[in-house]
Amino acid sequence: MTRPSVAATVRLAPPVWRAVFVTGLVALGGVLAVVFALEQRGEMSLAWWWPTAAIGAVAAAASPRRWRWLTAIGVGLASGVGSAVAGRPLLVIVLGAIGTAAEAWLVATALSSEQDRPRLTTLRDVGRFAIAAISGAALVGALMGVAREFSGGDFVEVFWTIGSSHLSAMVLIAPLGLIAIPRVASVRWWRSIVLTVAMLAATTAAFFPGTPVAVPILAMPLMAWAAVAEPMYFVAVQLLAVVGTAAGLTVIGGGAYAAASPDLATATALQVFTICLGATTLAISASQNDRRALESKQMAVSHLLHDAFRQSKSGFAILQEDAPGKYTVLEVNASAVVMLRSEFERSDTGRWRLREDALLRPSLSEATYDVSVTVDWEEVAPGNPPATITIDAVNRTGLNRVLLVSVQDLRPLREAEREMEWRLERERQVSRTFQALTQQKVDFVASVTHELRTPITSILGFAEELSDTTDDPSVRAQVDVILRNATRLRGVIDDVLLVSKLSRGPAAADALPVMDAGLALQRSIEDAKHSIQHRKLRVATEIEADLPVHGREIDLTRVFTNILTNAIKFSPDRGTVSVVAYRTDHQVVVTISDEGEGIADEDLTHIFDRFYRSSSSTSRGVPGTGLGLAIVKELLSVMDGKIELARAEPVGTCAQITLPIADVGAPPHPSDSDTPAR
């Protein structure tokens, strides 16, 4: 468990406190720049250590991205002040300030790429830090080398001296402000203290004046151990303590780096020692952080899978075969124990084990690496819950043959099957009851209408005779009313009788004759002539010759008459009814259109239902029973035809009837009815 780093904590602080802290860090960097610059006064002198860049990098990392450039400028000014106090040339001051500002900005930006929060935790973070630190140190070294070159100095010497100075300071100081701080409860203090004391003792022994054998890396194994075992922040603190001890003892003449040599100066040697030790320990510690994070993630996934395994409603068991017929239960969940209650028992240690008389043993021995075994548990162990058991054998390194037993509980499936069967039977009963009620209704309507047809026929007969024998105009007018209404009533009775007959289903198959649809259409128009003249309508016809179809004349005429009657009823006075009939390669197409109001969209889905009348028909008082279109559809189905209704453009309704073309030389087409539909 850790807390955010110093830079991250400041980054999340209120703006005022963040500004105070960042300003304080920049000021501290300026003070240290003055201190270390004054140790080497003169125009040609160079400071052996420059912590201003490292402290400036922490300050820049603590600043928001949009203000980071301003912090970097402040770091550059602080560095320039130190150089100016020490009496450096103007070009050195300017280029050194620019390089230090760029170095601080570069390191801060490299470690703040994720959500603008500075972090130095993972090996990837350390890699970015190393690249940014080396690049920044090289930039400062190059700028200072150019400045010294103009002053008569050596570019290469200045480049390596300044570069190593800045890089060693960055590696030693910047991590203290960028690494997350461990919480007190998560630290093993005794181990940290012992390791720190041992490191300092080893460093003192290696760098103490008069040590017979110079071994500067004596503390390296302890630092590596700390990098593996300790929190990364403690490793950074221990690194600072070890390097500080080594530097202090070197100043008083101890250690392998005290005696300067022409090839390697003391300061440069200490800087290289710091860089190597810091890079190694930080990389090891970061890799350990990655390993711990991966282990933590894997452990969380493992716990999640284990919980899912135990809480699953499906049964699972994992068995290991120690010897032929000898099995150890590695894992088993509660569902498997419940469904296979006759197979498992508790041992003396409280662990589950397979019973000696378990019915599952023969199936376990049959499973191979290539073949799975499936067991119907109802057949093997009657009385146990219904289930399907699948056994797979797998080979895992370090284990004997492992058997994966999965148990699929079939009780929900059986319950669903019973529920479905019960519902289906209930639906069958409802359907049978509905069919019986429907048949009773049809029989009742047929009986009533049949009884009504005889007196209506008598009324029509006597009315027609009275109309022929009377000469009184008033009596003839009354007789005409009787004839008109009796004829209308007989039409209703005929429709009801036809619907009743169609409702009984098809009778024995019979042959449909071939007839000309055009002639039947002409006959229907002729029969409706009186209504057409009464409404002053115009009938526009385009009827091709030779339109052979299979159908009875009376049925086909009734189809066309019903559609034509609807068109006449819904057309406005002096309107136009269009009748078109033509043939295609395989069909005869008849369209009848009117100029009425048209069919509403909500009526189109019910227009062929029996006794259905549209809202416009009811509101306008148009006579009808709602059986005409239902009869048309039924009669067309017998002739393998179909009808479609749609709104015509711009107004009106268009009815399109399609019938298959009859082959005149072919035998009669079989019908579903043996008598004319009347």
190-225 tens-digit pLDDT: 888 888 899 899 888 888 887 766 677 788 888 888
- CA proximity to 626, closest of 615, 614, 611: 611
Is the pTM higher than 0.75? The answer reads no
For the domain 309-413, what is the CATH code? Answer: 3.30.450.20
Over residues 21-50, the mean pLDDT reads 73
> Has residue 186 got a pLDDT over 70?
no
Tokens found for residue 385: 């819950």
Residue 39 confidence class, pLDDT cut points 50, 70, 90: low
DSSP structural state of residue 325: T
- Please give the pLDDT value at position 614: 67
DSSP per-residue string spanning 264-303 = S-HHHHHHHHHHHHHHHHHHHHHHHHHHHHHHHHHHHHHH
Query: Going by C-beta distance under 8 Å and a sequence separation of 6 or more, which residues neighbour residue 320?
Result: 327, 328, 330, 399, 400, 401, 402, 403
Tokens found for residue 305: 């899978």
- pLDDT tens profile 377-433: 888 888 778 889 999 998 876 678 899 999 998 888 888 989 999 999 999 999 888
Over residues 77-106, the mean pLDDT reads 87
- The CA angle 655-657-663, to the nearest 5 degrees, is 165
Q: Judge: domain 514-660, CATH 3.30.750.210.
A: no
For the chain, what is the largest distance between any 2 Cα atoms, rounded to a whole number of angstroms? 161
Residue 171 confidence class, pLDDT cut points 50, 70, 90: very high
Q: How far is CA 160 from CA 151, 250, 334, in A?
A: 17, 21, 69
**CATH class (in words) of the domain with range 414-503:** mainly alpha
Q: Judge: domain 1-181, CATH 1.10.1760.
A: yes
DSSP structural state of residue 86: T
- Please give the pLDDT value at position 558: 84
Residue 136 confidence class, pLDDT cut points 50, 70, 90: very high
- CA proximity to 112, closest of 62, 69, 66, 73: 62
In the chain, domain spans: 1-181, 186-307, 309-413, 414-503, 514-660
414-503 matches 309-413 in CATH topology: no
Q: Is the dihedral of CA 592, 593, 598, 604 positive or negative?
A: positive
Distance CA 609, CA 624 (A): 14
